[in-house]
Amino acid sequence: MVRKKGRLWMVMLTIILLVFISGCAALQKKQALTPEEERAAQGEKEKAAQQEQEKKSFEQSLAQKKYPGIEGTVWESTLLKDILFEFDRYDLTEEARKLLTENAKVLSNHPNLKIQIEGHCDERGNSAYNLALGERRAASAKLYLIKLGVQENRLSTISYGKERPLDPGHTDEAWAKNRRSHFVILSR
Amino acid sequence: MRPFKKLLLFFLLLMAAHLLHPDTGRGIIYIDINSPETRKFYLALPAITAFGQLPQGMKEEVEKTIAQDLSVADLFYLPERAKLPLQAAYITEENVDFKQWGDAGVEFLLSIGLKAERDTISIEFRLFDCVQHIYIAGKRYKGSQGEVRVMAHRTIDEVIKQLTGERGIFQTKIAFVTDRTGNKEIALMDVDGHNEKTVTKNGSINIYPAWQPDGRSLLYTCFQRRNPDLYQVFLATGSSVLLSAVPGPNATASWSPDGKGIALMMRGKDNTEIYLLNPQGKDPVQLTRSWDSKTSPAWSPDGKQIAFVSDRSGSPQIYILDLASQKLRRLTYEGSYNCSPSWSPKGDKIAFARQEGNGFHIYTIRADGTDVRRITREGNNENPSWAPDGRHIAFSSRRGGNFAIYMTTADGSGPWKVTTSESNETEPAWSPWLQ
């Protein structure tokens, strides 16, 4: 009888042990990740790091700028590229569209940015007509950015006509640089 | 001492005589400046007669100013003094020898006296018709030493008025843009380039000066608030007020001749349009509405039409809008780039700049589109602005290093260089009559 009782205890103990061990195994199995899940987690981590990196490099791309005789300051980012125009034209070249697409990406990555698009002209031609032309060049860039999904209320425009050339030279090369839309950050 | 006293007494008596019988020749128009066949007249200008102890250099300055004004007036041939009859004394209606001057081929004789009395300077003149032997007019002006150039200009303006029935331009002013401080500021000068004053001093970009019809203020555009806004600066006080700051250009303003409206370029729908503001810069009314760029409105002197630049044909050309009928007509067809219209105060002609080669030339065209004439021969010439006499035009020109302000007559006489600095002086705006 005692021996029988003792055997029963052994069995029960074994069962309990087995249950415990299997339970542990089951528990262990629940916590482990599938390879897909593992990759996704890794991706998120990388994305966060990338975003951090991008934020950092965007911050590094910024330079505060004060225009002489004009109130306030703006930021310029080397990531927001100027687009160039042909003489007396305001339509976008293929290259300009490409650059605007990149600029639009920067704007979508940094949804707090409000920017001003500046229309500029070379020194040739009449000052008043160039002020009108600069208005057109800024508007061309703005319309394309809106088409690419940038919210209109993040974009303002100004024409400087031929009053603020990037390159003060009188050569074809200088003129080409000056026929541009330039992007500055008003707030971020 | 005695001969001097005698001379002085003689002079004073003449003044009294003159005051009793002023403007003997008034009413005769000797020179019809509105006639296309106007020829130049022979006018003798004997050496100025000095009375009293004149400050050093004053006589020469007055001589130079008067000779320059007579040249710019472009109404006279000035015979060399060596070829004129010898002049013993100050010539008056008492001692003038008409026959002697007439025989020398002189049609008009202008005798000028300059006198110093303590700090007061006076200039007086006598003008004679040596063909009909008529004493036309004489006047005297008094002022301080600093006002001597102004008095010289008044003298010539009066001489021109006596001969043509219309005022001379030598007491008007020219507003312009200068970059001498490294930025662009609005400045003001007499038409001889003297008496220059800075109007704006804000260190920003200040452009497109335009006169109020009564000459009290100037409109201009300034980028100070990161937008090309319209301001008005009062010349008596130098104080500026912000008139219009709608986002986009508030630029190339032009005051209507009756002073009741301001035409200007403002933002349209992705382009620029011509708008009309009230004198306070408010209540914008859109005058044009189409896809093209527009700029540089210029009123006709009757205030019924506005000339402006549009590129609807594919290149900048000048168009005229009739305000009552809203009808638009194209004015310029030749040339691939016509801009800067300025309507003559007499209404007949419009001056503009046309691109030719690497630069511009100044042209005039009748308001009906006929009679296109180029009036500059060399240099890169822009921004014509009519004088109130409808005969003279100021413009900016680069002939060598920098842009300077020049004057020409509407038929291309001259040109005369007005500014002489090393900096760029552009966008002249000739004032209306100021007195």
CA contacts within 13 A on the Cβ side of A2 = 0
Contact status of B265 with chain A (Cβ, < 8 Å) = yes
Segment B269-295, tens digit of pLDDT: 999 999 999 999 999 999 999 999 999
Write down the CATH number for the domain with range A62-187: 3.30.1330.60
Map residue B329 onto helix, strand or coil. strand
Structure tokens at B202: 């804000």
Tell me: pLDDT of B22 over 50.
Answer: no
Give the pLDDT score at B14. 47
Residue type, B23: D
Contact B402, B389 (CB under 8 A): no
Average pLDDT, integer, range B402-423: 96
Residues 6+ apart with CB under 8 A from A148: A100, A101, A104
Res. B214: pLDDT tops 70: yes
- Across the range B214-222, mean pLDDT stands at 98
pLDDT at res. B391: 96
In what helix (H) or strand (E) does residue B16 lie, and over which residues does it extend? helix B2-20
Is the predicted pLDDT of residue B31 greater than 60, yes or no?
yes
Q: CB B223 to CB A71 under 8 A?
A: no
Mean pLDDT of B70-99: 91
B120 and B189 share a domain? no
Choosing from B164, B198, B233, the residue where a domain stops is: B164
B48 and B155 assigned to the same domain: yes
Neighbours of B431 (CB within 10 A): 21
* Record: contact A68-B183, CB cut-off 8 A: yes
d(CA B414, CA B174): 17
Return d(Cα A151, Cα A146) in angstroms, integer: 6
Residue B89 exposed, middle or buried by CB count within 10 Å (0-12, 13-18, 19+): exposed
CB A181 within 8 A of CB A89: no
Residues of B in contact with A129 (CB under 8 A): 293, 295-296, 309, 311, 316, 339
Mean pLDDT by 10 residues, chain A (188 residues): 65 67 55 80 88 89 96 97 96 98 96 97 96 98 98 98 96 97 97
What order do you get walking across the sheet with B392-398 strand by strand? B380-386, B392-398, B403-409, B416-417
Kindly state the average pLDDT of the residues B196-223.
98
- Dist CA A180 CA A170 (whole Å): 16
Q: What are phi and psi of B179, to 5 degrees?
A: -110, 25
Indicate the helix (H) or strand (E) that contains A20: helix A2-31
Using a CB-CB distance cutoff of 8 angstroms, which residues of chain A are in contact with residue B429? none
pLDDT digits (tens, 9 = 90+) for B147-197: 999 999 999 999 999 999 999 999 999 999 999 999 999 999 999 999 999
Rounded Cα distance, A134 and A157, in Å: 10
The pLDDT of residue B329 is 98
Q: A163, B427: Cβ pair inside 8 Å?
A: no
Q: What is the ipTM of this complex?
A: 0.90
Residues B131 and B233 occupy one common structural domain: no
| Pairing verdict, β A114-120 and B240-244 | unpaired
Q: Residue A10: what pLDDT?
A: 73
Q: End of a domain among B110, B142, B164? A: B164
Is B435 a member of any domain?
Answer: no
Instruction: For chain A, say whether B74 makes contact (Cβ under 8 Å).
Output: no
DSSP secondary structure, B120-177, as one string: EEEEEEEEEETTTTEEEEEEEEEEEGGGHHHHHHHHHHHHHHHHHSS--STT-EEEEE
Q: Are residues B193 and B287 in the same domain?
A: yes
Residue B13 confidence (pLDDT) = 45
**Strand pairing partners for A187?**
A114
User: Is the same domain home to B260 and B111?
Assistant: no
Expressed in angstroms, the distance from the first to the final Cα of chain B is 41
CATH of the domain at B73: 3.40.50.10070
What separation in angstroms does the CA of B183 have from each of A166, B195, B200, B207?
Answer: 15, 21, 11, 10
Given a cut of 70, is residue B24 above it in pLDDT? no
For residue B286, the distance in angstroms to the closest alpha carbon of chain A comes to 16
Contact A186, A73 (CB under 8 A): no
* B 167-186 → A contacts, CB under 8 A: 182-184
B207:A126 CB<8 A: no
Domain coverage including residue B224: 173-430
pLDDT > 70 fraction of chain B, expressed in percent and rounded: 93
The per-residue pLDDT of chain B, averaged, comes to 93
SS3 state at B357: coil
Query: What residues in B contact A68, CB-CB < 8 Å?
Result: 182-183, 203-204
Where is A22: in which H helix or E strand? Answer: helix A2-31
In this complex, which of B248, B353, B382 lies closest to A135 when CB atoms are compared?
Answer: B248
User: Is B309 in Cβ contact with A135 (below 8 Å)?
Assistant: no
| Domain regions of chain A by residue span | 62-187
Distance CA B162, CA B138 (A): 10
Report the domain count for chain B. 2
Q: What is the pLDDT of residues B87-115, one digit of tens each?
A: 778 999 999 999 999 999 999 999 999 99
- What is the C-alpha separation between B252 and A135, in angstroms, rounded? 14
B249: chain A residues, CB-CB within 8 Å: 131-132, 135, 159
**Does B208 lie in the same domain as B159?**
no
Asked if A132 has any chain B CB less than 8 Å from its own CB, the reply is yes
Confidence band (pLDDT; 50, 70, 90) for B6? low
Let me know if residue B14 belongs to a domain.
yes
Last residue of a domain, one of B136, B164, B192: B164
Residue B402: per-residue pLDDT: 95
Distance from CA of B309 to the nearest CA of A (A): 8
Q: Which residues contact B318 (CB under 8 A, 6 or more apart)?
A: B307, B308, B309, B330, B331, B332, B338, B339, B341, B350, B352
pLDDT single digits (tens) B56-66: 999 999 999 99
pLDDT at A43: 86
* Terminal alpha carbon distance of chain A: 86
CATH of the domain at B381: 2.120.10.30
pLDDT of the residue at A24? 53
Element (H, E) at B112: strand B108-117
List C-alpha distances in Å: B82 to A14, A139, B79, B104, B238: 144, 67, 8, 11, 48
Whole-number Cα distances in Å, B194 to B40, B149, B150, B339, B421: 27, 9, 10, 29, 12
Question: What's the rounded mean pLDDT across residues B214-229?
Answer: 98
Does the pLDDT of residue B21 top 50, yes or no?
Answer: no
**3-class state of residue B3 by DSSP:** helix
Between CA B79 and CA B232 the distance in angstroms is 46
- Residues B105-158 have pLDDT tens digits of 999 999 999 999 988 999 999 999 999 999 999 999 999 999 999 999 999 999
User: If residue B117 lies in a helix (H) or strand (E), which one and from where to where?
Assistant: strand B108-117
Euclidean distance between CA atoms B139 and B162, whole angstroms: 11
For residues B209 and B218, the answer to whether their CB atoms sit within 8 Å is yes
